[in-house]
Structure formats: structure tokens, C-alpha cells
Amino acid sequence: MRSHTEYLTFHTPTHRQYLNITPQVESALRKSKIQEGMVLVSAMHITAGVWVNDDEDGLLADIDAWLEKLAPFRLDYKHHETGETNGDSHLKSLLVHHQVIVPVTAGKLDLGTWQQVYYAEFDGQRPKRVILKVMGE
């Protein structure tokens, strides 16, 4: 088995933002020359996440509203007693998870018709990294 590792760095201008990173994942796969295997895509921060879903603006707005309903910004989180103000960002990250595994078949991401890979930033305005680990033959 071979592997190829790349790191992506994002510095979003807003506190919350959702970025389609499928092109970057495809680029790492091409560089790896792996034909059969998988790509691990993992956010390396506890206030960010990664998911696979449709690239559609209405759905992204729905996801954002859903996350804000389940983990709204509030001033009374216990976490804020430590001097932080991002308790909701940690909770949002838990809801979407921090990593996904995408299968690779015949040198291509084996995604469904509408599936795309997204990076979800919940506490932005500073640099954060994502690791891409391509593994296979």
C-alpha cells in the first residue's frame, strides 16, 4: 500500500463558512497516482468539520440554520467560563464530525451523483488546517 499526504490551510473571512473542497481532494488524488483505495479528509481543529453532501446553496442555508438551531451562539456556555467565546462552534463540529473517508475507484473519487466534499468552519478568521491522506494501490 502507498500513501500521499497533503495539508490544506483555510483562513475564512467570516466566523462561519462552508467551502466545497472537492477540487483540492481530487488534486491530491491525482498527485498520489493511486488507482484503488481511499482518501481520508480530516479537519485538524475542534471547531471545524468535514462532510459529504450536495453542492446546493439552499441546502447549505438549511444546514446552517439547522446547526444554529441545535447549537446556537449563547453567552452562557460553561466553556465560556474559561475565557473562550466559541462553545457553539465546538458543538456544531460534533454534529457534522471532523472527518470523512471517500472511496477511490479507477483513480477517481467514487462519489454519488451530487456528492461533494465540504469543509465547515465554525470559528473562523484565523488559519486552520485539513489533512488529506490518500491510501491505496
- Per-domain residue ranges for the chain? 2-136
Using DSSP's 3-state secondary structure scheme, residue 11 falls into coil
The pLDDT score that the predictor gives to residue 112 is: 97
The pLDDT score that the predictor gives to residue 132 is: 99
User: Across the chain, what does the average pLDDT equal?
Assistant: 97
Three cell numbers written together for 66? 439547522
The pLDDT score that the predictor gives to residue 41 is: 99
Kindly report the CATH number that applies to the domain delimited by 2-136.
2.60.120.460
The pLDDT score that the predictor gives to residue 3 is: 98
The pLDDT score that the predictor gives to residue 92 is: 98
C-alpha separations of 53 from 18, 82, 97 in Å: 12, 34, 13
The pLDDT score that the predictor gives to residue 33 is: 98
Ranges of residues in the chain with a pLDDT under 50 are none
Sheet holding 128-136, edge to edge: 2-10, 128-136, 37-43, 99-105, 108-109
The pLDDT score that the predictor gives to residue 55 is: 95
C-alpha separations of 108 from 34, 52, 123 in Å: 9, 16, 32
